[in-house]
A and B are shown apart, each in its own frame.
Chain A
Amino acid sequence: MLWDWSFAISIIPTLWEGVKITILATLLGSVVAAVAGLAIALLRRSTSLLVCKPVAFLAEFFRGTPLLVQLYVLFYVLPDIGITLSPLVAGVIGLGVHYATYTAEVYRAGIDNVARGQWEAAKAVNLTASQTWTRIILPQAVPPMIPALANYFIAMFKETPLLSAITILELMNQARSIANFNYRYIEPMTMVGVFFLVISLISVFGLRWLERRYGRVGS
Chain B
Amino acid sequence: MTAHAAVPPIIEVDRVSKSFGDFKVLDELSFSVAPAEKLALIGPSGSGKTTILRILMTLESIDSGHIRIEGEELYHMEKGGRLVPADEAHLHRMRAKIGMVFQLFNLFPHMCVLDNVTLAPVLTKGVAKEAAKRRAMELLDMVGLADKAKAMPAQLSGGQKQRVAIARALALEPRIMLFDEVTSALDPELVEEVLAVMHRLARETDMTMLLVTHEMGFAHDFADRVMFFDRGRIVEQGPPSEIFTNPREERTQGFLRKIIAAGHRI
Contacts and interface: CB of A to CB of B under 8 A. Distances in A.
Contacts of B95: 123-124, 126
A126 B92 contact: yes
Interface string A140-158: 1000000000000000000
A124 B168 CA distance: 10
A125 B169 contact: yes
A120 B88 CA distance: 15
A200 to B, nearest CB: 32
B108 interface: yes
Given A117-B102, A120-B59, A219-B154, A127 B120 contact: yes
Contacts of A136: 108
A140 B107 CA distance: 12
Nearest to B171: A125
Contacts of B98: 124
Interface residues of B, number: 25
B108 A121 contact: yes
A125 B172 contact: yes
B172 A126 contact: yes
B109 A140 contact: yes
Contacts of A135: 119, 123
B169 A124 contact: yes
B108 A118 contact: yes
Contacts of A129: 88
Contacts of B172: 125-126
A127 B96 CA distance: 10
A125 B124 contact: yes
A6 interface: no
Interface string B103-126: 010111110000000011001100
Interface in B111-151: 119-120, 123-124
A52 B57 CA distance: 28
B99 interface: yes
Contact of A126 (B96, B102, B104): B96
A121 B109 contact: no
A127 B110 contact: no
B256 interface: no
Contacts of A131: 123-124
B36 interface: no
A54 to B, nearest CB: 24
A142 to B, nearest CB: 10
Contacts of A66: none
Contact of A123 (B59, B104, B123, B154): B59
Interface of A: 115, 117-118, 120-121, 123-129, 131, 135-136, 139-140, 218-219
25 contacts: A117-B102, A120-B57, A120-B59, A120-B102, A120-B106, A121-B102, A121-B106, A123-B58, A123-B95, A124-B57, A124-B95, A124-B98, A124-B100, A124-B169, A125-B120, A125-B168, A125-B169, A126-B95, A127-B123, A135-B119, A135-B123, A136-B108, A140-B110, A218-B110, A219-B109
Given A123-B57, A126-B96, 4 more contacts: A121-B108, A125-B169, A126-B172, A140-B110
Interface of B: 57-59, 88, 92, 95-96, 98-100, 102, 104, 106-110, 119-120, 123-124, 154, 168-169, 172
